[in-house]
Amino acid sequence: MVLVFIFLGIIILALTLTVLILASDFHIEIRDLEINNMKQKKAPGYAIILSLYLFNKIKWISVNLNDEKLRKAYTKMQLEKIDFKKFEKDFKLEDLKIIKNIKPKISYLNLNAKIGTENAFTTAFITTAICIVISILLPYIAIDLKEEKYQYKIEPVYVNKNIYKILFNCIIQVKMVHIINVIYIFLKKRRSDLNERTSNRRSYGYSHE
Structural domain including 41 reads: 23-203
Whether 131 maps to a domain, the answer reads yes
Cα angle 111, 114, 117; round to 5: 140
Mean pLDDT of 30-39: 85
Contact 45, 190 (CB under 8 A): no
Whether 16 maps to a domain, the answer reads no
Whether 18 maps to a domain, the answer reads no
Alpha-helix residue ranges (DSSP H) falling in the chain = 2-22, 67-80, 84-90, 95-99, 120-141, 176-205
**Between 83 and 181, the higher pLDDT residue:** 181
Q: What is the DSSP letter of 142?
A: B
Whether 106 maps to a domain, the answer reads yes
pLDDT digits (tens, 9 = 90+) for 162-191: 999 999 999 999 999 999 998 888 888 777
In single-letter form, the type of residue at position 131 comes to: C
Residue 5 reports pLDDT greater than 70: yes
Whether 178 maps to a domain, the answer reads yes
Instruction: Say how many domains are in the chain.
Output: 1
Q: How many CB atoms lie within 10 A of CB 3?
A: 7
Residue 209 reports pLDDT greater than 50: no
pLDDT digits (tens, 9 = 90+) for 194-208: 676 666 555 555 454
